Amino acid sequence: MDSIMDLGLVMAMGVAMSACCGFRLLIPPTVMAYMAMFGWLDYSGTEFAFLGSPLTVILLTVAALVEVGAYYLPWLDNLLDTMGAPICAFMGMAVCFISLYELPEGIQWAAAIVAGGGTALLTHTGTGLVRASSSVGTGGLGNALWATFELFLAVAGSLLSIYFPIVMGVCTFVLLIVMLLIIAKLWNKRRAKQKIKG
């Protein structure tokens, strides 16, 4: 790592990519694989060189398409939100860890666990709560629109994280604040309903 600026760039990219995992957990690694295959991300000579192989690209593409399709099935999307939280945190850690491959391993792991996993999990939790509210309010009909919006954010966010990491890092910070507000609002709303019932 040549400078503080370079450190800021890779940190911003890693955290922003992790946030995108909160929308669709397999889209960011799939985008990274395509970028590596076409030479726009260079992992040659590292343990992550396999990302650019055609086999990795094919496997991630198929898995990502299955994930995307599953979120358009009523009620299955809510089940995926619940079951997918640990996997989402792991994937957020993974993409952040890969993004920081030039850093010392101790810093790499610490940043991946705290920033990567935490950001992905927070984003995943916030979007899941919004989806659950949408399911109740629209009988599941609004979920397709929300799923499409999430997919757009995952794809666009992953691409922009590579080309404009600082901008996306700032956007991720704002996103996390919004997610915290959403979680707090829905949590307080749920507690208020429980008190009324009690």
Q: Count CA atoms closer than 13 A to 143's CA, side-chain side.
A: 25
Query: Amino acid identity of 97?
Result: F
Angstrom distances, CA of residue 108 to CA of 52, 56, 100: 21, 23, 6
The answer, as to whether pTM is greater than 0.85, is yes
141 band by pLDDT with thresholds 50, 70 and 90: low
pLDDT of residue 2: 59
CA distance 108 to 125: 24
Q: Are residues 8 and 102 in contact, defined by beta-carbon separation less than 8 angstroms?
A: no
For 27-57, the pLDDT digits (tens) are 999 999 999 999 999 998 899 999 999 999 9
